[in-house]
Amino acid sequence: MDYSIKDVILLLHPVLAVIVVFPLIGIVVNRALQVRQRRQQTVGEGKSKISPVVGQEHVQLGRWLSGSVVGVNLVALANEIFGNIVDHQVWKKAPFQVVLIGLMFAATIVTFALLYRVQDRRWRGIFATLSGMGLVILGYQHGVYRNTDHWYMSHYFYGTTASLLMIFSLAILRDIYQDRTNRWRNVHITLNSFAVILFLGQGITGTQALLEIPLAWQEPYLNELSKQKCNIQPCTIQAAPSLPAKH
Ligand code: HEM
Ligand code: HEM
């Protein structure tokens, strides 16, 4: 197998998404439906056969889900941003920019971790805003494939929006319980039903991305194919002298 370290690092993000994030989505959505059904039965019939534990399970696993979604998002961004820094040797031209990007990653992770700890409403708002801003600013660095022309089918835009919705869920967690009018509960249901659709989109656009990204050794050949427009005219592709020939 001709896998280089670059290919292995690239696979880290999809592997974590498939093994950790998506199973969690399954359980969290299942518990969400049970919480809702239980609440409706309790209001309507005064009792329900569904265990009250489903609420706790939804929230506990929901907290893990938020962390894992933001985590895989940061892994993907780190791969693209630091990959670009290595490819273009950015630290030689703009070392300060590299340090700033490193600090931005650190600030995003720290403010996101603090969001789990703080109770006060104001601090929840502040840390949710800061960690969300961190994600968005990192997403605008060189190397990140945003596919802005096709934003309606963009893995980046779906992923960032879903991550922001997970951060928001953490921020309003207490308000869902405290609010007697169910306003925050309904806001939560509406936004996170949308998040589920975005997650489905991530499954589709992510596998699509895997299909489109070549292995590291294939990349120079593919670049040559598009440079010579091999899709519309005959062309010859040869192994570059610096590349070991593949058979
Ligand atoms: C896929 C994402 C999610 C979906 C579709 C979802 C949906 C729901 C639904 C339908 C309910 C029941 C509302 C009702 O009582 O009618 C609920 C409750 C709740 N959710 Fe989520 N949710 C998601 C993720 C999260 C996350 C990530 C968190 C926190 C970090 C969270 C925190 C809560 C809380 C605190 C409640 C109230 C539970 C209770 O009343 O016992 N949810 N959610
Ligand atoms: C919650 C789920 C996910 C989130 C939040 C997420 C988020 C992201 C983000 C923000 C990027 C960087 C921008 C871009 O290149 O589009 C990215 C890249 C990528 N994602 Fe995902 N993603 C998720 C799930 C998946 C899944 C399920 C797969 C595949 C099975 C996948 C495969 C990829 C690939 C191949 C890349 C390109 C990586 C690179 O060029 O370095 N993602 N993802």
pLDDT at 57 over 50: yes
- Closest ligand to C-alpha of residue 203 is 2
pLDDT tens-digit map of 99-145: 999 999 999 999 999 999 999 999 999 999 999 999 999 999 999 99
Report, as an integer, the average pLDDT of 47-72. Answer: 97
Cβ of 36 closer than 6 Å to ligand 1, yes or no, is yes
pLDDT at 247 over 50: no
For residue 245, is it within any domain?
no
Q: Which domain holds residue 186?
A: 5-213
Instruction: Tell me the C-alpha distance between 215 and 210, whole Å.
Output: 10
Ligand 2, from 202, 211, 213: best to mutate by most atoms within 8 Å of Cβ? 202
Instruction: Tell me the C-alpha distance between 27 and 206, whole Å.
Output: 21
pLDDT tens-digit map of 165-219: 999 999 999 999 988 899 999 999 999 999 999 999 999 999 999 999 999 999 8
For residue 122, is it within any domain?
yes
Cβ of 155 closer than 6 Å to ligand 2, yes or no, is yes
Q: Which residue's alpha carbon is at the smallest distance from atom 42 of ligand 1?
A: 62
Report, as an integer, the average pLDDT of 142-158. Answer: 93
For residue 183, is it within any domain?
yes
For residue 72, is it within any domain?
yes
For residue 143, is it within any domain?
yes
Among the residue ranges 64-68, 72-76, 232-236, the one predicted with the least confidence is 232-236
Q: pLDDT band at 3, cuts 50/70/90?
A: confident
For residue 238, is it within any domain?
no
**pTM for this model (two decimals):** 0.94
pLDDT of residue 244: 55
State both tokens at 13.
């993000």
Ligand 2 center to 64 CA (angstroms)? 19
Cβ of 34 closer than 6 Å to ligand 1, yes or no, is no
Cβ of 14 closer than 6 Å to ligand 2, yes or no, is yes
Average pLDDT, the chain: 94
Quote the number of domains for the chain: 1
pLDDT of residue 179: 86
For residue 221, is it within any domain?
no
Instruction: Tell me the C-alpha distance between 167 and 116, whole Å.
Output: 10
Ligand 1 center to 33 CA (angstroms)? 9
For residue 224, is it within any domain?
no
- Closest ligand to C-alpha of residue 163 is 2
- Closest ligand to C-alpha of residue 27 is 1
